[in-house]
Structure 1
Amino acid sequence: MGRPVQPNSAPEASCYSAHSTPECKRVMASDVRPCLDRVEGLVARASSQVALSPARFHARGSGKRRAALANWLSRVSSRMQPTRNDLLNNCDKLTLSKVFDKATARAYRHLAILQATRPSVEAMLQGNTDRALILRSMGAIRHYLEHYPNPPDAGDGVAWLDRDSWLHDGDDADEARFDLATRLGYPIVRLRTFDDHGAADDLTPERARQLRAVPLSKARGLVGVALEDTQNSSTLEQLNFLMSDRVVPLLATPHSMREAIAHFYDHDQDVAIARQLGLDPNLSNSEREMERLAREKPVVGLVTDLIAEAAARRASDIHIRPGEQGADVLYRIDDELVPVRRFMRALLPAIVSRVKVIAGMNLAEHRRPQDGRTRFQMPDGSKIDLRVSVLPAVFGESVVIRLLDTRESLRALDQLGLSARDRQRLDDVMSRSHGMFLTTGPTGCGKSTTLYAMLLELRRQRINVLTIEDPVEFFIEDIQQMQVNRAANFTFASAMRNFLRHDPDVIMVGEIRDGETAGIAVESALTGHLVLSTLHTNTAATAITRLLDLGVEAYLLRASLLAVMAQRLARLTCQHCKTVEPVIPHIRESLGVAPTEVFYHGQGCAHCDGLGIHRRRAIYELLVISPEVQRLIQSSVDASVIQQIAVAEGMTTLSQAALELARSGAISLTEAWRLRSD
């Protein structure tokens, strides 16, 4: 059943409220209730027939009985269809008046029954009296009667809640959940327009976060509670136990629930924690008893919740930014920094101390940068790797936590989105016994993911694979992985010198940062080893000039380099809220796009956290070192010349790959313009 259309405007008064209008009452009395009474009578007859008829179909010679039942259903259906139309019309009137009371819930319930039985009834009207078809029709009625009972009685209705909050929050993509709630009569509430009337105080911040629930308003022994899932019986039982009033469930989107919990509970929770820890909420920067504070239960829970929520929302990083008045928390989701909440400033030292304890840092050091790493156990028992950076800032220590979820990031080559042609070329590179392969691009573009995918493929062979990384991001079985330790003078360069005496077949170097590492990588590639590494350049061609700038001799580079792959992560348009993109003319001109071409972007919805983008995928530019490119390297020509030759030989540039994705509707044209490589 489709969702009812929501009008753009509505009368100022609501039915069944203190400001009900005579017109609303007249609609309810003269139009809707007679329709409901007729449908209830029809359904009662259908249910009684269901109880009697199935056994008869097992007897021989039941054809006449089936035909009689089909005729009866035909008569019922002829009365159901106009009743259905009346209900649809009057439900629109109810929607206009913002009423979602018991009568409206019954209307939607019976509409669901009609929708379920209509195909079977129409088939029987055309002469199909098949036994199985009739049983399916009656089974559908029985299913709805048993599984979709009348919703909780809300007295005169629940229109005593804020009228504006009854507007449907249309940016949630979970259509089935909304349709089911509508059929069961559970109202759908828009939290962003709801003011605090004190009901939120009936639930503690801890319980609100645990149950994902926010009490909104109370009246006449009832309390309306916004929930992400109105069908969770365990949550409803706990709420009815905790609340003094009877709970009326209201459905809200996950996105708006997060906003509401932050709005109603975050500040009060900060004050309560500060008092519990003996901190004055008005102090600007307290540093006392850092170790004690870091192990206090409220602080432990606060930091754990931040990390767990970030992982649940697929964030790659957590930023804690100190300011003059407080500390802001932001999550990096699909390459966008999304504000989450603000802590009062008095809590910042305790939060930073807890992060330092987790990452094994020095609690007493506040003037120097620190880095740390740990494997963190989530509340559900799963584990996630964290990489932590702490920097001293003007108003306190700034923290960035990188979340490394091996379940998300360790991917096979087939999962990287490579074209068939590029995948074949990459297989050719991995089949070589010696040479050097480089991935290139800015930080966070997926270079390590690509190298790990290649290592997963290579470990299937009977070879010795050694890696030197800073740090080791993901652990792979059957591969010898080492981590840079500058205190022990174990650097990329020194590790590679030692690797050559350890009988390696494949060497992976986390990054070529200097001339010494570049020189040893080339030497290793020329002495019978396959070397994989990364560089920070914008295109594949500029990686060649970068290595020459680092001091690698042109003739050595020409002989050792197999291929270079530049890559970027494109932010995918949310398919649940995408709409036609109004493209700026100069972007079209820059990308050579005709004015008649149509592109799409996301408006922002609950499914994508309001960003308009949901997840990312990599695009690639694979430059294979052909004889012609080798000649250009030897001549030390400009990168633009190498790029032109590579394109002529069939290389797809990053700009071309991005534009192809935009034309397919996967990304916006603005995103393609952001990813351009020229």
Structure 2
Amino acid sequence: MSANAKPLSPNLIADPTALANWLDLAPAGDPWNRDNGFLTLDDWLALGDDCTEAHYRQAKTLGVPLVRLENLAPDSSATALIRPEVARRLRVVPLLVRGGNVAVAMEDPGNDETLSTLDFLSRQRVQALLATPRDIRNAIARHYDQVEDRDVARQLGVDPTGTVVETSEQEAQRLSREKPVVRIVHGLIAEAVARRASDIHLRPGEHGTDVLYRIDDEMVPVRRIMRSLHPAVTSRIKVLGSMNLAEHRKPQDGRTSFTLDDGREIDLRISVLPAVYGESVVIRLLDTMESLWDLDQLGLTPEDRRRIDDVMSRSHGMFLTTGPTGCGKSTTLYAMLLELRKQRINILTIEDPVEFYIDEIQQMQVNRAAQFTFASAMRNFLRHDPDVIMVGEIRDQETANIAVESALTGHLLLSTLHTNTAATTVTRLLDLGVEAYLLRASLLAVMSQRLVRLTCEHCKDVEDVDPHIRASLGVGANEVFHAGRGCSHCEGLGVFKRRAVYEFMVVTPRIQSLIVPGAEADEIHAAAIEEGMVPLTQAAVNLARQGLISLTEAWRVRAD
């Protein structure tokens, strides 16, 4: 320690002087010595919405200072220690090299793997500081993304400071083939798969294009692309999806497959929409290794597995999965198809679009331009000698009536419907114009479901539950539940992967007697519970009691 060294700075480091002073003393200093006047929790929380109590506790437990990066410009010798892609992957920002030490702002200073990687990459001794995810993200955007993007812009002959202009088809073709652009898009897709993302969002704005991944149903910001590079990146994505490069004013959809470095193929569904600051892009990633489950992976209870096996053994009738968009309805039906194809039967599907290709099953895709819709396909299916028919969705009266007709004429029909509970499926079909006596004779069972986010096992902690939530879900004030704090394993989300939570209503003779014109969903729901159905909300609470999900998550997916 030098003779001129100042007393240890408070544990909030927010300016270059405080950082330099701390780094001089870091090897010997104790940043949590309260006698030195360190900030309080209230002071930390007052700094911004992203400054949470969890960050404060994490820093105190690890014995590292908290850092705010808004007014800290990292030294170029520090940022040069690691490449941009490594900084994004590790979510770290090197700030200053001094006296054989390097100060590094990190999301998770307790991650041994991250620290080991930094020690390997740097000859300096790593001194960790804790920053919020938003601070890390913004700092990477300022000091890595922009530097990298300016270099790419120069290689493309694009003005880095210029505004976005509508490119010609010829210019778009040129940009889409340039190696730096190909590398950016390839990197975004490969990283999204590695981080288990289901979607990639490119949101153009006034100051650049924000890239976000949807991971376990959470939107996670990844990086910001320079605004002048947006046309080049979208052109490359359009080329992948076989879209019209000259069209910028109308929505476009595309599909392609993408081969990862390990040889694995990922299906991509691409949607492009015109927005104020350029074209907004969403890429849906369909990884059969992650998304195509069998029945054993759905989390069914032994009793419900027996019930679904009973449905699949039927020669005719209708089975429906229901719930909002993105709740895993198609996943459930695909799992049933994988089981059904083991039999010597003919299986036909009509989907919009076909998400996964399955051997030994004849799959068709809706083509409205050719008047090939759900209804028209099903009319033709009946002449194609099917045993099992899967319809992507029942949307209208015509499709509903043909589905019921198919179920009554010697076919097992599987489909989906947008309703919130199993009981309201009956009233919805009646509202669509299906005759009650036909529905009584055809409907076998309904599975209403949601996807819940599983609590991360690596950062699980006791959950602080709102009393209102406890009262609404009927749990005791002394019951203990758990939630994730957020760590590097779960991308800081506190949740890792998802599973289905559901209610399974078998149409018993008693429920059949309630399927009449003007039927009441509440009566059917109550009868189904008496017949053995566990309501979806109660099933979610049961998972929370097992510690698999938080009680707040059970509250989020409640169905009543």
CA contact (8 A) 2:79 2:95 kept: no
Equivalent residue for 2:318? 436
* 1:286 and 2:165 matched: yes
CA contact (8 A) 1:563 1:625 kept: yes
CA 1:377–1:323 in structure 2 vs 1: closer, same or farther (change >3 Å)? same
Picking from 30, 49, 52, the partner of 1:96 is 30
Picking from 67, 75, 80, the partner of 1:197 is 75
Tell me, what secondary structure is at the counterpart of 1:282? coil
Equivalent residue for 1:248? 124
- After TM superposition, list the pairs within 5 Å mapping 1:16-95 onto structure 2: none
CA distance in 2, matches of 1:258, 1:355: 27
Deviation, 1:231, is 5.8
Picking from 486, 489, 492, the partner of 2:371 is 489
Deviation, 1:264, is 2.9
CA 1:263–1:192 in structure 2 vs 1: closer, same or farther (change >3 Å)? farther
User: CA RMSD of the aligned region, Å?
Assistant: 3.5
CA 1:465–1:254 in structure 2 vs 1: closer, same or farther (change >3 Å)? farther
Equivalent residue for 1:276? 155
TM-score normalized with structure 1 length: 0.68
CA distance in 2, matches of 1:211, 1:249: 20
CA contact (8 A) 1:200 1:264 kept: no
CA 1:342–1:229 in structure 2 vs 1: closer, same or farther (change >3 Å)? closer
CA 1:296–1:644 in structure 2 vs 1: closer, same or farther (change >3 Å)? same
Equivalent residue for 1:56? none
Equivalent residue for 1:502? 384
CA contact (8 A) 1:368 1:391 kept: yes
Picking from 351, 359, 369, the partner of 1:477 is 359
Equivalent residue for 1:55? none
Deviation, 1:374, is 0.8
CA offsets 1:185-219 (integer angstroms, 9 cap, x no match) = xx999897685122145368567569969765445
Percent of aligned pairs sharing the same letter: 64
Q: Which amino acid aligns with 1:425?
A: R
CA 1:211–1:597 in structure 2 vs 1: closer, same or farther (change >3 Å)? closer
* 1:414 and 2:296 matched: yes
Unmatched 5+ residue regions in structure 1? 1-7, 25-93, 99-167, 173-177, 179-186, 240-245
Q: Which amino acid aligns with 2:545?
A: R
Picking from 457, 462, 477, the partner of 1:575 is 457
Tell me, what secondary structure is at the counterpart of 2:336? helix
Tell me, what secondary structure is at the counterpart of 1:474? coil
Equivalent residue for 1:264? 143
CA 1:372–1:19 in structure 2 vs 1: closer, same or farther (change >3 Å)? closer
Equivalent residue for 1:87? none
* 1:556 and 2:438 matched: yes
Deviation, 1:224, is 7.9
Q: Which amino acid aligns with 1:382?
A: R
Tell me, what secondary structure is at the counterpart of 1:634? coil
Equivalent residue for 2:544? 662
Equivalent residue for 1:457? 339
CA 1:211–1:667 in structure 2 vs 1: closer, same or farther (change >3 Å)? closer
CA offsets 1:372-421 (integer angstroms, 9 cap, x no match) = 11111123332111111111112211111111110011111011101111
Q: Which amino acid aligns with 1:266?
A: D
CA offsets 1:333-362 (integer angstroms, 9 cap, x no match) = 111111222222211111111111111111
Tell me, what secondary structure is at the counterpart of 1:543? helix
Q: Which amino acid aligns with 1:286?
A: V
Tell me, what secondary structure is at the counterpart of 1:533? strand
CA 1:335–1:434 in structure 2 vs 1: closer, same or farther (change >3 Å)? same
Deviation, 1:96, is 3.2
Tell me, what secondary structure is at the counterpart of 1:455? helix
Deviation, 1:254, is 13
Q: Which amino acid aligns with 1:247?
A: R
- After TM superposition, list the pairs within 5 Å mapping 1:318-333 onto structure 2: 318-333=200-215
CA contact (8 A) 1:208 1:214 kept: no
CA distance in 2, matches of 1:576, 1:393: 40
Q: Which amino acid aligns with 1:196?
A: P
CA distance in 1, matches of 2:294, 2:131: 32
* 1:621 and 2:503 matched: yes
Tell me, what secondary structure is at the counterpart of 1:399? strand
CA distance in 2, matches of 1:465, 1:19: 71
* 1:314 and 2:196 matched: yes
Equivalent residue for 1:357? 239
Deviation, 1:270, is 1.7
Q: Which amino acid aligns with 1:96?
A: D
CA distance in 1, matches of 2:22, 2:11: 18
CA contact (8 A) 1:509 1:531 kept: yes
Picking from 521, 524, 534, the partner of 2:406 is 524
Equivalent residue for 1:51? none
Structure with the largest fraction of strand: 2
Unmatched 5+ residue regions in structure 2? 1-9, 33-54, 107-111
Tell me, what secondary structure is at the counterpart of 1:352? helix
CA distance in 1, matches of 2:434, 2:325: 23
Tell me, what secondary structure is at the counterpart of 2:386? coil
CA distance in 2, matches of 1:319, 1:486: 27
CA distance in 2, matches of 1:291, 1:9: 52
CA 1:20–1:569 in structure 2 vs 1: closer, same or farther (change >3 Å)? closer
Q: Which amino acid aligns with 1:270?
A: D
CA 1:408–1:255 in structure 2 vs 1: closer, same or farther (change >3 Å)? farther
CA 1:361–1:467 in structure 2 vs 1: closer, same or farther (change >3 Å)? same
Equivalent residue for 1:303? 185
CA contact (8 A) 1:254 1:606 kept: no
CA contact (8 A) 2:31 2:65 kept: no
Picking from 425, 442, 467, the partner of 1:543 is 425
CA 1:631–1:278 in structure 2 vs 1: closer, same or farther (change >3 Å)? same
CA 1:471–1:200 in structure 2 vs 1: closer, same or farther (change >3 Å)? farther
CA contact (8 A) 1:171 1:606 kept: no
CA 1:95–1:458 in structure 2 vs 1: closer, same or farther (change >3 Å)? farther
Deviation, 1:581, is 2.1
Q: Which amino acid aligns with 1:281?
A: P
CA contact (8 A) 2:100 2:124 kept: no
Q: Which amino acid aligns with 1:265?
A: Y
Q: Which amino acid aligns with 1:264?
A: H
Deviation, 1:582, is 2.1
Equivalent residue for 1:612? 494
